[in-house]
Structure 1
Amino acid sequence: MKIRFILVCLVLIIVSFSLNSLAYDHKAVRSYISYRIKYIHSVAYNTNIDLSKERVQEYTESIIYWSDYYSRELNVNIDPLLVTAIIETETNFVSRADYDNGDSIGVASMKINTAKWIAKQLGVDYNKWSILNATDLGIRFAVYYLGLAFDKYRGNLYQAILSYNQGLSGVSPDVDQLYDNYLFKVLGRYKYYQKRLAMRNSTAATAVKYFNYKFNQFY
């Protein structure tokens, strides 16, 4: 157990350093997220529906807009790349009504009871079809929930990620939770995104041009 604890801590320190040491241009982030959404959705096992170029870009704009909005509203730092990593881990960017045997819904696989609670918090009407619509309430609710988690756990990245999977009151301090497969799936994607941007970020224009090219190859 002690050896496992040390290994987990070392991995998290390395990941944390990697995440915090990378910077990226917002235009490059926008082009990369669009490319990533289309790429993952096109190979997803859980859908045979295609996403149009316009729809992918709407997903991207929604992720970026609500990440910025709730960062300011809740006084936290919500990285749109982290939101993207969580949604990819949850659903491959596929919005459905039958996740967790019907208990979860939408592009971010949110528990229905949680979605209803968030609707009350935000003063909006809960509607199944609005949650299923990623660019209506689906992405917005996911970003808001993540913002609440960052606020509750004082910006702790690992606890915020785990709370998205386990609930705001369900994150255990036990080291086994840090070794949780969900945490490492999200962190792995998040780190990979940032590395991809860093590789192409000698200039922002180069990154934007490259990921736009990769994105347009799908159409």
Structure 2
Amino acid sequence: MFDIRKSLEAGRSIFLLLFFVLSVSLVSASFWFATSAYSGADSDGAKGISESAVQLDYITTILAESRTGLSPEEERELAAVILEVSDAYSVDPLLVMAIIETESTYYNRARSHKGAIGLMQIMPDTGVWVAGMLDVDWQGSSTLYDPQTNVRLGTRYFSMLKKRFDNDTHLSLAAYNAGPTRVSRSIRRGQRTPVRYAEKVLKSYKEHRDGFSEAGPEQMKG
């Protein structure tokens, strides 16, 4: 004779078993997803930190090997500022290094016969103008001998030139050296724009990129 009570109990047992299996599966899946997501985020974050650390080490090493006129501590602080302002103004820090190398060979006290001052060889009138935009305390042309201030102003100025010349690196570099008015006039008249300075900077830039790509992986391993 058919026992409905046993049938119901059997059905209930099967239901509970299926519910248990489904619950365990969902918990396991959730745990796996959360762990994977966390690991991925942690990996990306670690990668970003590692790349920044390698860049900082590379730039610090270049400064340490050059006649900067700065103390080791000042060189380390300057390297950090180069990374900071490059990120803030969307300029490759290695390009900033190439400009510094071309302008002053990393010597902080450099001064040209035309009056350009410091690492990025900024003219005082340009310096006071950009300093006003950045709310930098301007104490006369001697302000440009402060390495961190010089790099902040120079990188900001170069980023403005890039915007003015539609992100054309050659024209922006030419304008940094010869002045934006002269470059704009040459373009307007269909004349050849100055190229020697830009080519010199870009050669240095390539050398820095090559040097960094060689040094980077080795430092990453350590």
Q: TM-score under structure 1 normalisation? A: 0.68
* Number of the residue aligned with 1:27: 53
* CA separation of 1:201 and 1:93: change in aligned 2, threshold 3 A: closer
Q: Kindly indicate whether the alpha-carbon contact (under 8 Å) linking 2:64 and 2:75 is maintained by their aligned counterparts in 1.
A: yes
Within the candidate set 85, 95, 98, 2:111 is matched to: 98
The structure with higher relative contact order (CA 8 Å, sep 6+) is 1
Match of 2:170 in 1: 158
Change (3 A) 1:176 1:60: same
User: Does the 8 Å CA contact 2:158/2:176 hold for their aligned counterparts?
Assistant: yes
Distance 1:26 1:159 in 2: 29
Q: Does 1:64 align with 2:83?
A: yes
Unaligned segments of structure 2, at least 5 residues:
1-49
- Structure 1: runs of 5+ lacking an equivalent: 1-23, 43-48, 72-76, 210-219
Q: What is the letter of the counterpart of residue 78 of structure 1?
A: V
Query: Could you tell me which residue of structure 1 aligns to residue 63 of structure 2?
Result: 37
Q: TM-score with structure 2 length normalisation?
A: 0.67
Say what the alpha-carbon RMSD is for the aligned residues.
2.3
Residue 141 of structure 1 aligns with an amino acid whose one-letter code is L
Change (3 A) 1:202 1:125: closer
1:86/1:186 contact within 8 Å kept:
yes
Q: CA deviation at 1:152?
A: 0.8
Quick one: which amino acid aligns to residue 135 of structure 2?
A: G
Name the SS for the 1:193 alignment partner: helix
Shift in Å at residue 182 of structure 1? 1.2
8 A Cα contact 2:58 2:215, kept in partner: no
Question: How far 1:170 moved relative to its partner?
Answer: 2.3
8 Å CA contact 2:85–2:155 kept in 1: the answer is yes
Q: Percent identity?
A: 26
The answer to which of 151-160 and 164-173 deviates more is 164-173
The letter for the 1-side match of 2:138 is Y
Q: Distance in 2 between matches of 1:191 and 1:100?
A: 28
Question: Which one has a bigger Cα radius of gyration?
Answer: 2
Q: Distance in 1 between matches of 2:215 and 2:134?
A: 38
CA contact (8 A) 1:27 1:204 kept: no
Q: Within the alignment, does 1:193 sit opposite 2:212 as a pair?
A: no
CA deviation profile, 1:81-135 (whole Å, cap 9, x unmatched): 111110111001112263224x211221111111111122233332233221112
**Equivalent position amino acid for 1:85 in 2:** A
What does residue 177 of structure 1 align with? 193
Q: Per-residue CA shift, 1:146-196, capped at 9, x if unaligned?
A: 110111112111111111111222223467535x32111100110011111
Q: In 2, distance between residues paired with 1:107 and 1:62?
A: 13
SS of residue paired to 2:120: coil
Q: Could you list the structure 1 runs, at least 4 aligned residues long, displaced by more than 4 angstroms after superposition.
A: none
User: Which structure's residues are more often helix, by fraction?
Assistant: 2
Q: Kindly tell me: are residues 65 and 157 of structure 1, through their superposed partners in 2, closer, same or farther at Cα, counting changes over 3 Å? A: same
Given the alignment, which residue of 59, 63, 71 partners 1:52?
Answer: 71
Contact 2:110/2:119 (<8 A) preserved: no
